[in-house]
Amino acid sequence: MSAATADTPRVVIEGPRRWFALAFLALGVAMIILDATVVNVAIPTMVKDLGLTTTDAEWVTAAYSLTFASLLILWGRVADRAGRKLMFLLGVVVFVGASVLVAASETSTTLIAARALQGIGGAMILPSSLSVINAVFVGRSRAVAFAVWGGTIGGMAALGPLVGGWLTTYASWHWAFLINVPIGLIVLAGVLWVVPETRESSGPRGIDLPGTVLITAGLLGVVFGLIEATRYGWIEPISTFAVGSWTWPFTSISPVTVAFVGGLLLLGVFVLVERRRGLAGKVVVVNLRLFGVRSFGAGNAVALLVSLGEFGLLFALPLFLQSTRGYDAMQTGVILTALAAGSFVSSGLGAPLAQRFGPVRVLQAGMAFEAVGILALGFVLSTTVTGWQLAPWLFVYGMGVGFATAQLTGVILSEVPVEQSGQASAVQSTSRQVGAAFGTAIIGATLIFGLGSTATQLEDRGVPAPVAEQVSQAVSSSAGQAIPALSAEPDGEVLVEGASQAFADAIKLVAWVAGGFVAIGLLASFALPRNAARVESEGYEPARKPDADSADDADA
């Protein structure tokens, strides 16, 4: 089956219009990526203004992450059927409307609900944007489009803290969300103007209700477990889980265990159900035969592995810089712009390099850059490190993100039929999100483990064991944020010095773990076919077929 069948004609954008289309799609993606990182900087101010509890503050982030990650595949599949442009536009409307609700919230309940609604909108936008690019760009312009899309994700993730710090400092936390209104209106107008509609017009009709429920509930359970394991405990409860007036009733087993194991079981049942429906020729949420395509199956495995370490360090690094080096949110954001700069630079270089050496080789070079940058940070991080000393390695790290993100996306989708690009885009986005959630959980556990050495550091400096243990628990439970306040305690200088050294040792360990995951992903990338996406990058359209069966089987 070719990239376009008689039933599904391919709509291609040509001329200057395609770059306008790409700009508006990328701006929509930038909006949701920025929002996911901006909120981390705005949370402390929101806690003070709204009187949020610690649990409330944690759910402000978790509510967005849970709905976003668990609904990507659902909305990707709906986009294939209902229209990718339509799904993108609806996502922008939902996301912008939810942003207004967040800014207008006066209670924790409305705030958390609005953040969950933002996640729903974001889950509509991300896969449909990539699906549109996959459907309407061809040849070299497609490789450039993937590079811009990937660079936008990497760059905006790093710029988020800077934007959030500036808005929170010089305006208010409300503008961290209200800024989405003018951006959203520009995106809506632009997409309506230049982006054509595409959808799947062949294959079986109907709704895969069992598959939809199983994949959504399964992902929700798995992602919840990964995100909340550190807070509630992997096996036994270490803190109280409550939703409204309902409290988790069991003391021998954590809600994380139930959610994670239950999610895995549901995903296992999902595979069995989808395989049976496929054999019967019924509509499915995910065409499992796509995983038989080497570039798609191996590419998603690489995406998951790399995501374990790719942004894990960004979770811990701002905490370290603010608690031990005394940088404020704005200054931390400025330091992280080195990563964004590297990402944007490599995104521009990625397409021509891919044409010369092949996308897989550029992808592997990107992961090598990432591993070198992260591991080098592990060596230079210390209690006296400056932003200027971090910047070169953050730039190298960002170069790797820019190369790897764009090329991996192109490789994964290179042999996917255009009519199934929505579900395929959603699957690769989900692989990244699950990998990032798993990586953050591991990085968080690594950080807390490393901070456990605080007591030893303090005892070596003559602090009595009971005091050292008490300080160690405070530092670990706050992820290091209790360190600045130690200066007001008796022997405060010694306490701060010992706790800061423990944090420096912990962040080094975090960097090495994150770099190790990226290195494992680099090794896994050698399972990719070397010429994946190569033909198309040279201006030709590859044959795309998930298996050797008939064209109808593509939708089975």
What SS3 state is found at 528? coil
Confidence band for 259, pLDDT divided at 50, 70 and 90:
very high
The predicted pLDDT at position 481 comes to 73
Confidence band for 538, pLDDT divided at 50, 70 and 90:
very low
Lowest-pLDDT range of 147-151, 400-404, 497-501: 147-151
Percent of the chain with pLDDT over 70: 89
Exposure on the CB side of residue 150, measured as CA atoms within 13 A? 36
DSSP state of 418: G
**Structural contact between residues 454 and 246, judged by C-beta atoms closer than 8 angstroms:** no
If one counts every other C-beta atom within 10 angstroms of the C-beta of residue 379, the result is 11
The predicted pLDDT at position 4 comes to 39
Confidence band for 134, pLDDT divided at 50, 70 and 90:
confident
Helix axes 359-380, 329-357, angle to 10 degrees: 150
Is the model's pLDDT at 165 over the cut of 80?
no
Residue 229 or 531, more confident:
229
For the ranges 21-25, 167-171, 470-474, the one whose mean pLDDT is highest: 21-25
pTM of the shown model = 0.77
Rounded-to-integer distance, Cα 62 and Cα 59, Å = 5
Is the model's pLDDT at 479 over the cut of 80?
no
Rounded-to-integer distance, Cα 178 and Cα 402, Å = 28
Confidence band for 1, pLDDT divided at 50, 70 and 90:
very low
In residues, how long is the chain? Answer: 556
pLDDT, tens only, 265-278: 999 999 999 899 88
Is the model's pLDDT at 168 over the cut of 50?
yes
The predicted pLDDT at position 533 comes to 53
**Structural contact between residues 424 and 77, judged by C-beta atoms closer than 8 angstroms:** no
Q: Residue 242 pairs with which residues in a beta bridge?
A: 247
Is the model's pLDDT at 340 over the cut of 50?
yes
Residues contacting residue 507 through CB under 8 Å, at least 6 positions apart? 316, 317, 320, 381, 447, 450
Mean pLDDT of 208-214: 85
pLDDT, tens only, 78-93: 888 888 899 999 999 9
pLDDT, tens only, 414-426: 787 777 777 788 8
Burial of 530 (0-12, 13-18, 19+ CB in 10 A): exposed
Burial of 242 (0-12, 13-18, 19+ CB in 10 A): exposed
In terms of DSSP H, where are the helices of 171-254? 175-178, 180-194, 209-232
Rounded-to-integer distance, Cα 258 and Cα 212, Å = 21
Confidence band for 372, pLDDT divided at 50, 70 and 90:
very high
What is the per-residue DSSP string for 230-294? HHH-SSS-SS--EETTEE---SSS-HHHHHHHHHHHHHHHHHHHHHHHHHTT---SS-GGGGGSH
**Structural contact between residues 510 and 374, judged by C-beta atoms closer than 8 angstroms:** no
Is the model's pLDDT at 220 over the cut of 80?
yes
Mean pLDDT of 350-377: 88
Identity at 205, one-letter amino acid code: R
The predicted pLDDT at position 540 comes to 38
Identity at 22, one-letter amino acid code: L
Confidence band for 60, pLDDT divided at 50, 70 and 90:
confident
